[in-house]
Amino acid sequence: MTKNRVVAGGNHCRWRRKKQKIKNKTAVGSISASFIMVAFIFLSGLFYLYSINGNAVKGYQIRCAEKELAKQEKKNEQLRIREAELNSLYRLKKESENLNMSDLKEVVYIEESGPIALK
């Protein structure tokens, strides 16, 4: 129901309806545009935090993997050095002396003829 008001001017007086003010609220259904913007900004902030946190976790995992790789490479290098030491001629000669082995002066091959199973 609209309210009426009396307008007086000069020699006359008359009744005039009050003009309704137009509200500048744009609404989608029963939700205002400002609420939608606030919700969008909030959700965008949450997504940003989630992605930044994910990147930080992945960066930490990569650093741990790089440290482990460096340890394994160092261990691998030490094992290669140890292998070279164990296969060196000096060590083999020393071990042969410890086992009372002597140098081979002459090689003799035995040839046998007779009933031997051949493949």
Beta strands in the chain (DSSP E): 4-9, 12-17, 27-28, 31-32
Distance CA 64, CA 58 (A): 10
Distance CA 102, CA 108 (A): 16
Q: What is the pLDDT along the chain (119 residues), one digit of tens a residue?
A: 556 665 556 666 665 666 666 555 555 566 788 888 999 999 999 999 999 999 999 999 999 999 999 999 999 999 999 988 888 888 888 888 888 887 788 888 887 777 666 65
- What is the pLDDT at residue 50? 93
Using CB atoms within 10 Å of the CB of residue 84, give its burial: 0 to 12 exposed, 13 to 18 middle, 19+ buried: exposed
Contact status, residue 15 vs residue 4, Cβ threshold 8 Å: yes
Q: Is the pTM of this model over 0.85?
A: no
Domain boundaries, the chain: 29-98
